[in-house]
Amino acid sequence: MKSQDQAQSMDFLHFAVVVLNWNGLDHLRRYLPSVASTDYPRWTLVVIDNASTDGSKEWLEGFGFEGMSVVHLASNQGYTGGYMDGLQGIEADVYVLLNSDVEVQANWLHPLNQVFQQDPTVGALQPKILSDRQRDSFEYAGAAGGMLDSLGYPFCLGRVFQDVEKDLGQYQGVHRIFWASGACLAVRSGVFWECGGLNRWYFAHMEEIDLSWRIQRGGYGLRSVSESVVYHLGGGSLAYGSPRKTYLNFRNSLFTLAQNLHPSECFPKIFSRLVLDGVAAVYFLGKREPRHLWAILRAHAAFYAALPRLYRLRQNSPWPRPRMSELDGVWPGTLWTYLGLSIGGKRRVLGKLRAFAQQQRIKER
């Protein structure tokens, strides 16, 4: 007869909640207490500090949460390098990569554990991410789950470009998704390392889409779980209007397509994206935002310079490359004209996306 501890171990996966911090003292003071109040029987808290200089290290030493460990890095390695270095040696069934500006509910890990336990082919999950500024609305970075359109433009259930929906229960349940948000990404530790982890080259932005694509290429699924709810402030490291963010998003998006697309889709889709990036650059020029125009031009220059390296990465990648239509969470339409639509046109597109979301919803057993 199994002991009570053995039964508990079978029922509850061990989660390591790993918070990455870089000069985020204000965020730690505001949000880390909610994480420490997590009500779950098998979890540990780890903070990775990316060489902060704002007093974060000293504050963490006095935080006083029993069992918390702090990993100090010698220099700022960004999101990707920070996690890749900091996760070394952390033993857990599941890593939860959690931004420092996220508030969690006490029972937030239970629904994630349930979905992982029900389906061993699920590699990664994300909770429903609401805005800490407007708690009745989804948050930009992830919302109710990440998707791609047919040209590789990312969007979310509850967020298309800058348009964010209120949470009216329209995305309740468990949904198949293409990518899980890096603001709160729960991934099986074995799947994380098996699928290559985060690409250090990216530094930050789009890295979770690249990882999620490789997770699907590795034969695992990704899901959003609405019963788990967190609140994200957003823009904690780079503001949403930052030209640096524009550069990283445009560059890393091209990197992601080049590494993961099926060979027959590579040229047409990347060529289309390059042309449409040019349209975006003209848009920024018309809005008299030359720094964003310059960021796109720099992103394209970086992409062209990286082509030999991208080719080598494709050649050495061990995972198959299915066509996008064969993957979960890919909407067969395209959103590239969305920003130019009338209010009525946008509503029609959102209606189509909600119908698509229903197709991705997993029926309860």
Residue 338 placed within a domain: no
Please determine, for residue 20, whether its predicted confidence score (pLDDT) is greater than 60: yes
pLDDT in tens, 227-247: 999 999 986 555 557 899 999
Mean pLDDT score, 62-71: 90
Q: Is the pLDDT of residue 5 over 90?
A: no
Residue 48 lies in a domain: yes
* Residue 324 located in a structural domain: no
The confidence score (pLDDT) of residue 286 equals 84
Report the alpha-carbon distance of residue 44 to residue 48 in Å, rounded.
13
**DSSP, res 333:** S
Q: How far apart are CA 138 and CA 361, in angstroms?
A: 18
pLDDT average, residue stretch 313-322? 93
- Count up the domains in the chain and report the number: 1
Residue 88 CA, distance from chain mean position: 20
| Mean predicted confidence (pLDDT) in 351-360 | 96
User: What number is the average pLDDT over the span 347-357?
Assistant: 96
| pLDDT attached to residue 319 | 92
Start-to-end C-alpha separation, the chain: 29
Which residues 6+ apart lie within 8 Å of 282 measured at CB?
A: none
pLDDT of residue 10: 61
Please say if the pLDDT value at position 52 is more than 60.
Answer: yes
User: If you average pLDDT over residues 183-195, what whole number do you get?
Assistant: 98
Q: How confident is the model at residue 339 (pLDDT cuts 50, 70, 90)?
A: confident
Residue 174 falls within a domain, yes or no?
yes
pLDDT digits (tens, 9 = 90+) for 117-174: 999 999 999 999 999 999 999 999 999 999 999 999 999 999 999 999 999 999 999 9
Q: Judge whether 274 lies within some domain.
A: no
The CATH number linked to 89 is 3.90.550.10
Q: How far is CA 220 from CA 122, 187, 188, 198, in A?
A: 5, 11, 10, 16
- At position 343, the amino acid (one-letter code) is I
Place of tokens 């348009």: 163
pTM of the entire predicted model: 0.93
Residue 307 lies in a domain: no
| 102: containing domain | 4-232
User: For residue 354, is it within any domain?
Assistant: no
The predicted model gives 298-305 an average pLDDT of 97
| pLDDT tens readout for residues 71-119 | 999 999 999 999 999 999 899 999 999 999 999 999 999 999 999 999 9
Task: Kindly tell me if the per-residue pLDDT of 1 is higher than 60.
Answer: no
What confidence tier does 365 reach under pLDDT thresholds 50, 70, 90?
Answer: low
Whether residue 67 is contained in a domain is answered as yes
Note the pLDDT of residue 295. Answer: 95
Answer whether residue 219 shows pLDDT above 50: yes
- Average pLDDT score, the chain: 93
